[in-house]
């Protein structure tokens, strides 16, 4: 499954999370940031990664070995202590845009549910279309229903604006080139 266009790119995540996102994916990297964010963790050598290391418990042994090998290629001499960023800014942006785009929540509902300031929510949803909380708008389109409220309204009848006025058909325009008499 591909990530939506409003997800952060792997290279934009802070610190070691960018490396994890390139190897395993953005969701796994954000989960690592949520669980281990703000903590100092030991990144072992690839051959020392086992099922009991902190990273393999979060993303699996094979993926943890790949991350450790990439970290070693990036300039680490041997295992070292890392400060794992929390990526709370990116996680908040994803949560806000998910509620806005996919569920159709209002700005007040989002700020109340996620405990974020209203102006921060407005910044995060600016430029993104609001969802309807149901199927995609293209799928929901029904020609017999009102696009605003979804109800079936009676067909509009042509009414004369004033019952005392008589409506006359418009005269056809004279052909071009025919001069005035």
- Are 53 and 24 within one domain? yes
Give the residue numbers spanning the domain of 20. 10-83
User: Domain ends where: 24, 51, 83?
Assistant: 83
Q: What is the mean pLDDT of residues 134-147?
A: 54
Residue 125 has a pLDDT of 87
- Are 17 and 79 within one domain? yes
**117 close to 107: Cβ distance less than 8 angstroms:** no
Tell me the CA end-to-end span of the chain in Å, nearest whole number: 75
Residue 139 has a pLDDT of 46
Q: How many domains does the chain have?
A: 2
Report how far residue 162's alpha carbon sits from residue 169's, in angstroms, rounded to the nearest whole number.
16
Question: Between residues 131 and 84, which one has the greater pLDDT?
Answer: 84
Residue 174 has a pLDDT of 66
- Are 68 and 93 within one domain? no
pLDDT at 61 over 60: yes
- Are 22 and 56 within one domain? yes
- Are 79 and 92 within one domain? no
**130 close to 101: Cβ distance less than 8 angstroms:** yes
The partner residues of 43 in beta bridges, in order of sequence, read 80
Residue 64 has a pLDDT of 93
**16 close to 84: Cβ distance less than 8 angstroms:** yes
pLDDT at 124 over 80: yes
- Are 116 and 67 within one domain? no
pTM: 0.65
- Tokens standing for residue 8: 């952060």
- Are 79 and 103 within one domain? no
Residue 84 has a pLDDT of 92
- Are 34 and 79 within one domain? yes
Q: How crowded is residue 158: how many other Cβ atoms within 10 Å of its Cβ?
A: 5
- Tell me whether residue 156 is in a domain: no
Q: What is the mean pLDDT of residues 29-57?
A: 92
Q: How many residues does this entry show for the chain? A: 181
Q: How crowded is residue 177: how many other Cβ atoms within 10 Å of its Cβ?
A: 5
Question: Between vectors from CA 89 to CA 112 and to CA 55, what angle results, nearest 5°?
Answer: 115
User: Domain ends where: 83, 111, 145?
Assistant: 83
């Amino acid at each position: 499954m591909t990530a939506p266009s409003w997800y952060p790119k792997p290279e934009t995540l802070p610190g070691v999370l960018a490396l994890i996102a390139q190897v395993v994916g953005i969701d796994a990297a954000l989960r690592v940031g949520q669980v281990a964010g703000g903590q100092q963790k030991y990144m072992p050598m690839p051959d020392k990664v086992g099922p009991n290391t902190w990273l393999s418990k979060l993303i699996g042994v094979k993926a943890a070995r790949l991350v450790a090998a990439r970290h070693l290629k990036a300039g680490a001499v041997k295992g070292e202590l890392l400060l794992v960023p929390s990526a709370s800014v990116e996680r908040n942006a994803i949560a806000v845009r998910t509620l806005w785009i996919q569920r159709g929540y209002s700005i007040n509902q989002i700020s109340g549910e996620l405990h974020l300031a209203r102006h921060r929510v407005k910044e995060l949803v600016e430029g993104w279309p609001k969802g309807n909380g149901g199927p995609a708008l293209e799928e929901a389109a029904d020609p017999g229903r009102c696009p605003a409220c979804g109800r079936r309204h009676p067909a509009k009848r042509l009414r004369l604006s004033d019952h005392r006025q008589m409506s006359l058909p418009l005269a056809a325009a004279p052909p071009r080139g025919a001069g005035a008499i």
